[in-house]
Structure 1
């Protein structure tokens, strides 16, 4: 694995074991799924992707907007087809088809992804059918220089 995807996977793996903390974004101290992506972004590009306003645990249910999908398009560009997903790609998940996307992770290999999961820590999980069918979008991290 090389290029940007390989770098993203290595960085995501370095976060494994970080405790779950709502709105956190600090490796080894605490993060939620959005904080994991923010931390990887900082390590890749040197700064926050954009200011993240405070959000409640039920933010996706209350807003009526698909803010996670909108942010992914702004920062990562248009989604790629699931059939073209590669290690290091960002995975967005919806709990139900009629709800906003509310969870994100990093594809580590075709059958596993890394994510910060509530009541646990950053972990590598099997991309079993119950997770796979909830994928709302796949995005690729922007290249760095010659990646």
Structure 2
């Protein structure tokens, strides 16, 4: 068995830590979203969400960012895509996103669903499922919005849950 290198562990924490808390000027509620429920999306809207998210791959990461011009953090990316494709703004923090919409099983995933990660009680990262086991997300400082596979070595260990919005 390999020993973990301290820098590799620190890098992994930065990936998840990038979206774990809102920017300083944003309130930091940790309770799940208690506002209005998510809209019921048609298959066409769900497909449009996935296509729009894929089109943002390569956009720079920015903590608290929520536009292509300023960059995105993970919840900012989700908010931007949903506002522009559905006309409804989801909650801003990952903790709130984890309670938005309807929880679904892994076997029920469709494009446009949300993926929420967290190894403890508090979710730490989120992305948009785009099909074929892949999701789009804004992973960390210094990175860009990218496409990753749910079953990759790293993400398969991150306790994913799925929400239908």
* Both structures adopt the same fold (TM-score exceeding 0.5): yes
Alignment of 1:81-92 (within 5 A): 81-92=105-116
After TM superposition, where is structure 1 displaced by more than 4 Å over at least 4 residues in a row? Answer: none
Task: List aligned pairs for 1:1-147, cutoff 5 A.
Answer: 2-46=43-87, 48-50=89-91, 52=92, 68-73=94-99, 75-76=100-101, 78-94=102-118, 96=119, 98-118=120-140, 119-127=142-150, 128-141=152-165
* Displacement of 1:129: 4.2
In 1, distance between residues paired with 2:111 and 2:86?
19
TM-score w.r.t. structure 2 length? 0.64
Instruction: Tell me if the contact between 1:90 and 1:138 (Cα under 8 Å) persists in the aligned partners.
Output: yes
Measure, in 1, the Cα distance between the counterparts of 2:111 and 2:90: 21
Deviations 1:81-125 (A, max 9, x none): 11211122100001x3x3411100111122211100112111111
Q: CA deviation at 1:69?
A: 4.5
Tell me how far apart the structure 1 counterparts of residues 109 and 144 of structure 2 sit (CA, whole Å).
Answer: 24
1: CA distance, partners of 2:75 / 2:161: 15
- RMSD in angstroms over aligned alpha carbons? 2.0
Which protein is bigger by CA-based radius of gyration?
2
Query: Quick check: 1:93–1:135 contact (8 Å CA) kept in 2?
Result: yes
CA contact (8 A) 1:69 1:92 kept: no
Task: Choose between structure 1 and 2: higher strand proportion.
Answer: 1
Gaps spanning 5+ residues in structure 2: where? 1-42
Question: What is the count of residue pairs matched by the alignment?
Answer: 121
Cα distance in 2, alignment partners of residues 83 and 45 from structure 1: 24
- C-alpha separation between the residues in 1 aligned to 2:133 and 2:98? 22
